[in-house]
Amino acid sequence: MPELPEVETIKRGLKRLLVGQEILSIERNWHKSFPIESNRSNKFLIGAKISDIHRIGKMLVIELYPAFSIIIHLKMTGQLVYVPNNLSDIGDMNRFGGGHPTDSLIGKLPDKSTRVILTLSKGILYFNDQRKFGWMKLYKTKSLLNTAMISNLGPDALDASLTRGEFVNRIRKRSKSKIKVVLLDQSTIAGVGNIYADESLWASKIHPETIVEKLSDLELRCLQFELIKVLNLAIEKGGSTDKNYVNADGEKGSYLTYARVFRRTGMPCSECGWTISKIKVNGRGTHICLKCQKL
Ligand SMILES: [Zn+2]
């Protein structure tokens, strides 16, 4: 599933390419991917202008003028691909795409994974989703922040308002839980998933199964410092979608070449040389150096 850096990368690319464009038509071949009645979509979407694009946690928000916003959650296999009418609008790859890494990111579209097609004034935005867990939804922009899915989210992991003290306080609210489980809980902190939880716990030398109350404030502050560091590095590297991913400049996301534990099972720890292991923490595959991260 794309995490904060992957969604942020998609957001930055789409923002550059889509803002100012008008929606000309919408086509769906799977209703649940964008569950909205045709009369509503015709009324509120057609002719609306894309005024801004932002990210809330792992969700993408396409804000429309005058009144509505499209919220998109890519979930397990969702991807967004924009193909401009005038191919020279984008670098060598002739398109911008992000999300689940399959050949649909670079192949001919629409294909059998395409669920929604938004035709815009200067190109086409495809929402592809093999397994159909992802979704697009339409909300009134004004009431967006009051919807449960957004009001239940904790502050964004990269939000400046999430000070060291606030980070520690929020984590401590779940004092009897394992630290990795708390990091993944979107109502505590939004945006963190498996990759960046493993990477930040390794960097701060914390075993993922450590119970929160056993951690000192200093350890938690160190964890936040490392978390921000890996998230920013991942955004800088275009996220972790290593296969077929292309950004607005036609480059692939390359974060995984910088990962220190994630998908490095059996390889030596770059800190101590011990072999990286993979364990399960509440059912989630977890990468760890058992020498650096002691329970
Ligand atoms: Zn180690």
Which residues, in sequence order, are CB contacts of 267 under 8 Å at separation 6+? 275, 276
* Residues 231 and 4: beta-carbon distance below 8 Å: yes
Q: How far is CA 295 from the centre of its chain?
A: 30
Q: How confident is the model at residue 107 (pLDDT cuts 50, 70, 90)?
A: confident
Handedness of CA 89, 20, 103, 29 (dihedral sign): negative
Is residue 284 among the annotated active site residues? Answer: yes
- The string of pLDDT tens digits covering residues 178-194 is 999 999 999 999 999 99
* Residues 24 and 121: beta-carbon distance below 8 Å: yes
pLDDT of residue 89: 63
> Could you tell me where the DSSP H helices lie in the chain?
4-18, 38-44, 148-151, 164-172, 179-184, 194-203, 217-236
pLDDT of residue 40: 84
Supply 187's token pair: 């109502």
Residue with tokens 């499209």: 70
* Residues 98 and 80: beta-carbon distance below 8 Å: yes
Distance of CA 293 from the midpoint of ligand 1 (Å): 7
Give the Cα separation of 130 and 115 in Å (integer).
9
* Residues 138 and 144: beta-carbon distance below 8 Å: no
- The string of pLDDT tens digits covering residues 44-91 is 999 999 999 999 999 999 999 999 999 999 998 999 999 999 876 665
For the whole model, what pTM was predicted?
Answer: 0.89
Provide the 8-state DSSP code for 244: S
Is residue 22 among the annotated active site residues? Answer: no
Distance of CA 278 from the midpoint of ligand 1 (Å): 13
Q: Pick the catalytic residue from 3, 8, 199, 209.
A: 3
Give the Cα separation of 191 and 130 in Å (integer).
23
- The string of pLDDT tens digits covering residues 110-147 is 999 999 999 999 999 999 999 999 999 999 999 998 99
Is residue 75 among the annotated active site residues? Answer: no
Phi, psi of 6 (to 5 degrees): -70, -45
Is residue 58 among the annotated active site residues? Answer: yes
| HEC readout, 62-113 | EEEECCEEEEEECCCCEEEEEEECCHHHCCCCCCEEEECCCHHHCCCCCCCC
Give the Cα separation of 243 and 248 in Å (integer).
16
Q: Pick the catalytic residue from 132, 205, 221, 284.
A: 284
